[in-house]
Amino acid sequence: MTDNIQAAADLLWDCWMEQRRLPALPNSIAPLTRQNGYAIQETFERRSAFPLFGWKIAATSRAGQAHINVDGPLAGRLLRERVIDSGGEVPLGRNHMRVAEAEFAFRMGVDLPPRPTPYSTSDVLAAVASLHPAIEIPDSRFDDFTLVGAPQLIADNACAHYFVPGPPASVDWRAIDLAAHHAVGTVRHANGQWLHRQGVGANVLGDPRDALTWLVNELSSLGITLRAGEMVTTGTCLAPLPIEAGDQLEADFGVLGHATVRVGYAM
């Protein structure tokens, strides 16, 4: 099994670095369980030259789960090499998905180690240092990511690609009902046309705070500590925005702040 995990990880990593795709992992090395998918994903963290930046959650809405044919959320790792400062430029390259997502992200203030009993939302929020508006630009190493199933999507790092965190919210975000809080995603295309989409925190597993709690307990079940300083982005709160090279993107969370990024051409 260890050889299969490494072979699958090598193949997916090469696809990521070389911007190529495959129909699915070969049957001989494809993970059959979520746990095996996470074992493959874990090898990506060891390849990074930096400490882990944080985590993402995919499929946090019923529509998103139905779209990729899974029955629940998926966790993925955010690698520091793929984090772009707000106001910067992200290369589109041969991105297959070509969408951007507006997300609530949380930076942790203390470690949350594995434990036998689930963490409550209040436990988790007590460990949060700051809330950030964010943009995720996902991608998949599969030709059709809607067909391969949860174990392979987890092995594919839950479609992680680029992540753009905004500055921490300067208001008392703990006093705000994040489930009811609205966000607006905007794409300004190179031809001058605009696209706006609105969303609300309730689109993220009912509440971004609940999504964060899910992530903590998912990691706990895997024996993984969510560490102080790591950031968790909780999934899109609005319908993904189609993007092309030359676009300007903004995720506007009102009093909570905003994140922006340009879409460049090359990798």
> Residue-wise over 80-111: b if at least 16 C-beta within 10 A, else e?
eebbbebeeebbbeebbbbbbbbbbbbbbeee
Are the CB atoms for 207 and 228 separated by under 8 Å? no
Task: Give me the pLDDT at residue 267, please.
Answer: 62
Task: Give me the pLDDT at residue 1, please.
Answer: 59
- For the stretch 93-149, pLDDT in tens is 999 999 999 999 999 999 999 999 999 999 999 999 999 999 999 999 999 999 999
Are the CB atoms for 97 and 140 separated by under 8 Å? yes
Q: Which domain holds residue 242?
A: 2-264
Chain centroid to Cα 218, Å, comes to 14
What is the domain-level CATH number for residue 24? 3.90.850.10
First and final C-alpha spacing in the chain: 34
Vertex 231, ends 226 and 233: CA angle to 5°?
A: 110
Beta strand 89-91 with 258-264 is parallel
Task: Give me the pLDDT at residue 31, please.
Answer: 97
Task: Give me the pLDDT at residue 61, please.
Answer: 77
pLDDT along the chain (267 residues), means of 10: 91 96 97 97 96 96 80 95 98 96 98 98 98 98 95 97 98 98 96 95 97 98 98 97 97 98 87
Are the CB atoms for 236 and 131 separated by under 8 Å? no
- The domain total for the chain is 1
Task: Give me the pLDDT at residue 55, please.
Answer: 98
